[in-house]
Structure 1
């Protein structure tokens, strides 16, 4: 998942520049000199993105200055001409007249200001490198500041049918100036920057952009907000993915142009890091779905699936509100006495154990209300009060859930969830309650491959298959909205994983996961991460655990002293199907098998010989088309597997030869007479499912070996059961591994069961985070008293969003 991607406080992109300092020694005292001439100073810049290798940074051709956006950072180092590192004193000057030049540490780490008030050419930052004991600079370099995105384009995803239209907006970290967002269309992110207009003509059309700017010294300073209207083509013959890319475009100017006889004209510059995009699903089902409706302030009684959170879910600094958070109002529960409760996550409604019962729950969340708490200004409504939550810091709890007692008349009493219902005449989806008739409101268990849907604040209604069951995971929690203070890593057992493009994102926390065939509750979404191919993996608590943990907490809280009175059930209606908005799966390109070590080659040769013997055995006499070869394992990328190309599935196919797993071509999606491209079998509607007995055996092995696996390798943060990608007819022990850490040796089989490795980002909870409204004064709005749980070990966390920031003086 991309956890609302752009954040002016978190430095998501780092670059390194190498500055060579000229050193000339004359006489006993020595003489140091420096110049910016090309033959004596070299700048080398590299961009470092979390989980990715270093990439060259971008410089402005006209000025030679390094470009960095307000979401970035630069790591500078100095060296003498012979390459010897130079110990220098770093400083920065110039920069924005209001935000300043940023800061640089003693080690050369430069952090830009969080916003700008002018275009880059007008506010260059000068980096000074000074040798100790000398008053003049040894060298200087120039930085041009590009305003970055304050939030992703909104909405982040949407679905339109033929001739449908939607308005997209984006906000950038500039108050004043001429910077803008340039919008374009493409079939992929990679193609967005290179595709000519003629190549995107059949993808729809974009209107002229409209940008609103506010001067810093005006009564109401505001960040630049740009919008564009997209219109779908008149004919959509088949579901198609379209990316609407937004790139920050600003201007740069040669620094000597003002003195030159012939000034150099201002030129447009942009940075690949300063961009965001919306994934659009063009569909031929007549459905128009826009998640923006989930983020708005809704009329009472509000439906579920909408933006919500604690009225106190914010950070403060020096008496001012700086950040705020929020998530999704997931579902409606009712106890045996008829009391109704709104269901969401602990980290959404209870601020990760910080809150006390009675704290106000609002709609929309602070993130969608300019970080303005109820009591400090308009824009949100109190809809419930916190009632109970199983504490996350307890080893006896296994859910991230909380209940809030509904304010009379404030929440739909029938439990209607946005977009869970039938298609309306205009193509939009009606709100509807989840199905409860099959289970009397208790929900059902997830099954591997089950198609499920969720309706959340950020991505709206989406669906994807269950990709893992019996999943034990370690999930990180933080003390603040900005996720700068790590507080807790909690283990959850026997969870559900759902994998799919744009299935979920930050702000969807608390959304109810339902079976698309009958709308019966299945899970409560609370955490997620993104794998090395950009596919999001959502984690949900099983609803049976959610109800059991909440019932126990209600009974202990004193609100329902009788266990029978604490019996909870989902409020809903008769079972019904749910429209499935399934965004096209990401299909990474094929990865060739790397060069094998001598030991691997010896094992591969032996395995290939055994496979050839098997292919020629009497048991395969009726299948003369079997061919075997060595390929790259899909379960263990970078390791060899035996590729079996057969006209139809062989009988009694071995899982391994000489310890190498077998990979069957006829069961690998996308296979066409060549070793398969790397893809996700869960994305195929025809993916075979393992037999019940085989799945049960794999779950038994997982339960028996999970603790050992967690202890054996610190990179492992999840152990469950999913489908093998080498042979999707087989189950596999699924290992979630931290792609930023060395993986070391990982097993290919466990107790004869296949093992699949999934490199990805570590899991974290997925509510959304925003910054406070801009202000050029030192006065802070009134902040309601913030209650805290006695001896609370940690606070709350989330990810990012909003169109405005508080401007520091």
Structure 2
């Protein structure tokens, strides 16, 4: 899949028969020696998976039938499942702090021959900590919530660190933790809370609040910026219900954006729901105002009908309870007017608009947290610049920082990392992603750097120039490698307004102010080039060293500013070796003629690093290039790279492992443009050329994007209300509207 667009919340009823909990022992199982089985790990948390393998004495794979045959977990919650290929998936929740699970393999054609293996399952986190990020002034407090996949027990252990990996000694200069509590219930996930108090005296920096489940390796970090810009900021403001005329940038959804299932008795109930961000206010030429967001947020990926109610907050922040149900906490702020169809080769944006209910939305178009700090240093709401937004050019890309205010991650800031992006996006008819709808290819999209700029639920947020609040794009998709590298994708705002105007029969523009103003630029990502990449193998490093000492040696020419060659690791192709070419920084600044440095030598990528002769002589030269965030290229270089992108994108994306191609700046040689290729971290592209059309090629290996799950989700990620797998039949939207359904009495919030 290719989007992690809107967030998903599963709401499944559960009545636990706790008599099924407790301990059990497994009788020793003798293996007759006909084959053996092994597991990729001896323990796993509820978010992960384990791969089992069966092997004959000859070393060849054995054909077996897999089954989970026992365990210590509650009978209602189950022991998990294993598929035909031997991939074991744990249950969504545990009734113990840890539970043993037994897996059996039976040899095909000989049912009497079997082997067993036992693994331990531990609870993991149901979702990232809430809030997912925050900025605090000295002495300010923040309540943090962690939800774990255990019922009737379990705990979260909290600590503070200067690193997202945790560790280190207790340090009062990092702040203090207090008020630790946990709510435990037989029918809900265990939810634990703690209050963090920022130190009174602190220099600008960051602290990480680390949460671990039952003291196990299952951890979740929360990055808190301290005294950054002198403001308090948290996504809690974007998720809260508002009264009166609301500010946008808030949680919202179509009131029908939920899936209805039938339980074993044939009774229908709401199983899960979705939502995103009500991004901005737009108006047509007649002055009619509309809420702008994505099609997949307001119009359920082409499945909605004009006139559907639009809620604030979205159902995901209202316990999946729609307006028609008793106990609903959401309220209507508009009705769906129209959407730009996704299932069309003639459209190139993910956008929809809703007519504003009288008095429901601030007519000035204010967006949460775009203004300056208020009396308590909390960021206030403010409108964006009115009009048709700002197009990206070589001139503004050089200094551009972009911001967005969205439902899940609140106010965040980053830089544009790529332009002219071609990406594939998979859409589904349902929140559970069980019914594929359409795979759409977008062209000329904007790529925004970083792993923490957005997450699931931020879809529909307006992306702005942080220097002047000019609209730049409409966020709709993104992804991560789970190791600190990521990208967010936005439709250019000009394209969004043009397609709305075409569909609506009237010219659309963004509602806002005529006075430019700055937006606080809160950056939660690490600096460019600082995230860890894969290590270079010994063989690859040896090949690079051989080339550096032989084929690349003739490049050295002190008079022309090429000082030395060495061996390093490529930033454009993580995991590959590189030939470092050290160049004289002073001659770079004076633009003196240099010998052209080829993109590769002997099939090995080159990497250009600026230094000086004295540093080389002393052995203190840089080991890697200085990577500056953003794009710093000439208009001619960008234009040429765009031509190359259009020439090669289609052929590259015919490879199932590749889902995006765009224009970026090389990290191995910052003076050069490069093609950006987005490749599935779990698949190997057929070929990975170092250059195409005379340009360097930079690769990002990412998990394919998700429509409803957090991009930080692990393979077996569960929703925050899903206490067990659903086995009943899903109803279509037409069926659910004709039947009586119920909201689960117990939800896992």
TM-score past 0.5 threshold: yes
Unaligned runs of 5+ in 2: 12-26, 263-267, 711-716, 738-743
The residue correspondences of 1:103-502 to structure 2 (distance < 5 A) are: 103-105=81-83, 108-120=86-98, 124-128=100-104, 141-176=117-152, 178-190=153-165, 192=166, 194-197=167-170, 200-214=171-185, 216=186, 221-240=187-206, 242-249=207-214, 270=216, 272=217, 274-318=218-262, 319-376=268-325, 377-436=327-386, 440-445=387-392, 447-449=396-398, 450-502=400-452
Query: Residues of 2 paired with 1:279 and 1:459: CA distance?
Result: 11
Secondary structure of 1:391 counterpart: coil
Match of 1:99 in 2: 77
1:505 aligns with 2:452: no
Q: Which has the higher contact order (CA 8 A, sep 6+)?
A: 2
Secondary structure of 2:252 counterpart: strand
Match of 2:504 in 1: 554
Match of 2:640 in 1: 697
Query: 1:648 offset after TM fit, Å?
Result: 2.0
Query: Residues of 2 paired with 1:744 and 1:775: CA distance?
Result: 40
Secondary structure of 1:426 counterpart: coil
C-alpha contact (below 8 Å) 1:322/1:806 kept by paired residues: no
C-alpha contact (below 8 Å) 1:508/1:767 kept by paired residues: no
Query: 1:527 offset after TM fit, Å?
Result: 0.5
Secondary structure of 1:72 counterpart: coil
Secondary structure of 1:549 counterpart: helix
Secondary structure of 2:360 counterpart: coil
Unaligned runs of 5+ in 1: 10-18, 26-31, 33-40, 47-55, 59-67, 250-268, 556-565, 790-801
1:175-199 Cα shifts (integer Å, max 9, x gaps) = 31x2111112222233x1x4333xx
Secondary structure of 2:503 counterpart: helix
Match of 2:519 in 1: 578
Secondary structure of 2:586 counterpart: coil
Secondary structure of 1:474 counterpart: strand
1:630-672 Cα shifts (integer Å, max 9, x gaps) = 433322341433422424243334553384465332399x999
Secondary structure of 1:320 counterpart: strand
Query: Residues of 2 paired with 1:120 and 1:596: CA distance?
Result: 42
Query: Residues of 1 paired with 2:440 and 2:385: CA distance?
Result: 31
Query: 1:466 offset after TM fit, Å?
Result: 0.8
Query: 1:156 offset after TM fit, Å?
Result: 0.7
Equivalent position to 2:488, from 534, 538, 550: 538
Query: 1:601 offset after TM fit, Å?
Result: 7.3
Query: 1:451 offset after TM fit, Å?
Result: 0.5
Match of 2:741 in 1: none
C-alpha contact (below 8 Å) 2:297/2:459 kept by paired residues: yes
Closer/same/farther in 2, CA of residues 244 and 803 from structure 1, 3 Å limit: farther
Closer/same/farther in 2, CA of residues 493 and 136 from structure 1, 3 Å limit: closer
Match of 2:629 in 1: 682
1:91-150 Cα shifts (integer Å, max 9, x gaps) = 4235304323334456654443322344446xx544455678999995555454433322
Match of 2:714 in 1: none
- With structure 1 as the length reference, what TM-score do the two structures score? 0.77
Query: Residues of 2 paired with 1:522 and 1:114: CA distance?
Result: 40
Secondary structure of 1:348 counterpart: helix
Secondary structure of 1:114 counterpart: coil
Query: 1:213 offset after TM fit, Å?
Result: 1.5
Query: 1:205 offset after TM fit, Å?
Result: 1.4
Closer/same/farther in 2, CA of residues 340 and 380 from structure 1, 3 Å limit: same
Query: 1:485 offset after TM fit, Å?
Result: 4.3
Query: Residues of 2 paired with 1:532 and 1:129: CA distance?
Result: 32
Equivalent position to 1:732, from 674, 679, 692: 674
Q: Please identify the structure whose Cα radius of gyration is greater.
A: 1
Query: 1:334 offset after TM fit, Å?
Result: 0.6
C-alpha contact (below 8 Å) 1:593/1:640 kept by paired residues: no
Closer/same/farther in 2, CA of residues 324 and 576 from structure 1, 3 Å limit: same
Secondary structure of 2:494 counterpart: helix
1:656 aligns with 2:597: yes
C-alpha contact (below 8 Å) 1:527/1:766 kept by paired residues: no
- With structure 2 as the length reference, what TM-score do the two structures score? 0.82
Query: Residues of 1 paired with 2:454 and 2:485: CA distance?
Result: 10
C-alpha contact (below 8 Å) 1:478/1:484 kept by paired residues: yes
Query: 1:388 offset after TM fit, Å?
Result: 1.1
Equivalent position to 2:658, from 716, 723, 738: 716
Query: Residues of 1 paired with 2:226 and 2:745: CA distance?
Result: 27
Which sits farther off after the overlay, 528-537 or 75-84?
A: 75-84
1:297-354 Cα shifts (integer Å, max 9, x gaps) = 1112111000001111112222221111110000000111111100000111111111
Query: Residues of 2 paired with 1:238 and 1:78: CA distance?
Result: 54
C-alpha contact (below 8 Å) 1:150/1:804 kept by paired residues: no
Secondary structure of 1:580 counterpart: coil
Query: 1:749 offset after TM fit, Å?
Result: 3.1
Secondary structure of 1:202 counterpart: helix
